[in-house]
Structure 1
């Protein structure tokens, strides 16, 4: 599926980046809802499209870091596995849509390896950003994910996995009821409260933060991954690619060798 171009106001984007740089540290002391409202300072720009493994990578010589790269806009409010993405290590910022088939294939085949081999070992931070641009049911599913994350991060990751594992079963007609059934049977959070928030557009500020980050980073398709190494931006990967591509880009085996060498030499 071809993606549509994103048009953004460059003056607004520059001003917003200056603002974000000035408030990054202040956001740590805020609760998530307050932080989201602080950084949702402009309207989201709609984007569309999804890519499978026919996608691409984009490299850059930019010295942008995870603290000022547009893909990391509002990153301190996002669901994260592994170390803090602001600790200066390796980071994957994933823009995904619960209704996007290539995202589903990534989540079922590549993400488990990233989680088991990297985030759980403290080697990589994985940051999830919702970008509902493919099928209609992805919108309420994204809102439900935001509402669930507000209440419990473990329930968020479980619901996310449920959406991608059973993607073909969801439609715009049944997404709310299937979400309710899962939350009531598999988590301890109040499903009714989450879904009332979905219907009342309570989570639009949180979704707007992700949309704005995508627009500023020229992300107009899902899945798209922004990769950072030692806190510095490396590349954008478009589409569902193999674990080996992520492994090659981040070169974590080299990090392991360097750490082992430091241990052996006592440095």
Structure 2
């Protein structure tokens, strides 16, 4: 698939980081700043088309607190963030309707993350539950994937673990429609100031941006940002 100018810019930054073993992922995490604090989710770059992406909990535009997460299936810190912080937040707040968590794949780290993001996107109109299961699979088995095998391994996993037409999902992942949606997230992330950092997390309270956070931040950090607990 052909890289757009936006995609090439992100890959250039990520490639430099990868050369020293960072590959776009950041460490322990911290605030990315609150220069845009006060912006409504509906007016924020990441609010555009957000209703078309999977989310946990109530409607992100109506929830008391909303977390919008940009992550890359190939990012080690994203895996840590989901397996720990996101899991804890889901258990404590999502079921009670206090928090919505929306995730948009943002492939700026290792090269296999881009086709993986497209495959994730292709599952959404078929079964959003598969989106979450496949994302968990990527995070759990990151060492097993590379650009040469991500499509075949994903097709095998889909065939063995879901009722979807796995071959059709892979075909759709290579389509212009899938590409355009991922490119839209890359552009929105750039406009929001995420750059090549993953995970990049944006905390909204009552529909208004409070702050953004970089890296695999703790549950307590997110709770404080979202005024939870």
Please say whether Structure 1 and Structure 2 have the same fold, judged by a TM-score greater than 0.5: yes
Equivalents in 1 of 2:123, 2:186: separation in Å? 19
Match of 1:136 among 87, 111, 126: 111
Equivalents in 2 of 1:101, 1:61: separation in Å? 28
Match of 1:82 among 45, 52, 57: 57
Residue 205 (structure 2) pairs with residue 229 (structure 1): yes
Q: CA deviation at 1:132?
A: 0.5
Match of 1:189 in 2: 164
Match of 1:245 in 2: 221
Equivalents in 2 of 1:162, 1:117: separation in Å? 23
Cα distance change on mapping 1:200 and 1:57 into 2, 3 Å: closer
Residue 128 (structure 2) pairs with residue 153 (structure 1): yes
Equivalents in 2 of 1:173, 1:188: separation in Å? 25
Per-residue CA deviation, residues 158-201 of structure 1 (Å, 9 max, x unaligned), is: 11111111111111121112111211111111110011122344
Size of the alignment, in residue pairs? 212
Cα pair 1:60 1:234 within 8 Å, conserved: no
Per-residue CA deviation, residues 208-230 of structure 1 (Å, 9 max, x unaligned), is: 22112101101111110010011
Cα distance change on mapping 1:219 and 1:162 into 2, 3 Å: same
RMSD (Å) for aligned C-alpha atoms: 1.8
Q: CA deviation at 1:72?
A: 2.0
Per-residue CA deviation, residues 41-70 of structure 1 (Å, 9 max, x unaligned), is: x97454242212145431247421111012
Equivalents in 2 of 1:171, 1:61: separation in Å? 36
Unaligned runs of 5+ in 1: 1-41, 254-267
Equivalents in 2 of 1:214, 1:132: separation in Å? 11
Q: CA deviation at 1:131?
A: 0.9
Q: CA deviation at 1:155?
A: 0.8
TM-score (norm 2): 0.86
Residue 190 (structure 2) pairs with residue 215 (structure 1): yes
Higher Rg: 1
Residue 77 (structure 2) pairs with residue 92 (structure 1): no
Unaligned runs of 5+ in 2: 15-23
